[in-house]
């Protein structure tokens, strides 16, 4: 599963209005990332474009096969993306 979230931080940095910033709070994408990571035993979750090189390297070395260690690594990265995203949202609201 590949998910790329709305660009919340970039929208804030652009000086967008509060309404536009709120529209960039991704709900469905973050839920998909967390669901994929939670189910890492059966799912490869690629939580952002930044992880494409890691996925490509895995595909080039192992083909379409992954093992539990690979899926767990992607799950860890997914929760890192989720945490970072939520922290950015929290920080914006806390300003």
Q: pTM for the complete prediction?
A: 0.91
Let me know if residue 17 belongs to a domain: yes
Range of the domain at 28: 8-94
CA angle, corner 31, sides to 6 and 72, nearest 5? 105
CATH number for position 62: 3.40.50.1380
- The whole-number pLDDT of residue 85 equals 98
Let me know if residue 43 belongs to a domain: yes
Let me know if residue 45 belongs to a domain: yes
Structure token digits, residue 36: 């994929």
Structure token digits, residue 55: 């996925």
Dihedral (Cα; 69, 65, 39, 31), 10-degree rounding? 110
Let me know if residue 75 belongs to a domain: yes
The per-residue pLDDT for range 47-70, each reduced to its tens digit, is: 999 999 999 999 999 998 999 999
The per-residue pLDDT for range 8-60, each reduced to its tens digit, is: 999 999 999 999 999 999 999 999 999 999 999 999 999 999 999 999 999 99
- Report the domain count for the chain: 1
Let me know if residue 2 belongs to a domain: no
């Amino acid at each position: 599963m590949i998910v790329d979230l709305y660009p919340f931080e970039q929208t804030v940095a652009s000086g967008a209005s509060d309404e536009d910033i709120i529209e960039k709070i991704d709900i469905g994408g973050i839920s998909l990332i967390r669901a994929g990571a939670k189910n890492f035993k059966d799912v490869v979750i690629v939580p952002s474009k930044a992880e494409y090189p890691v996925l490509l390297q895995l595909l080039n070395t192992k083909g379409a096969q992954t093992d539990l260690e690979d899926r767990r690594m992607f799950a860890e990265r997914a929760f890192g993306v989720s945490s970072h995203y939520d922290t950015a949202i929290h920080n914006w609201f806390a300003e």
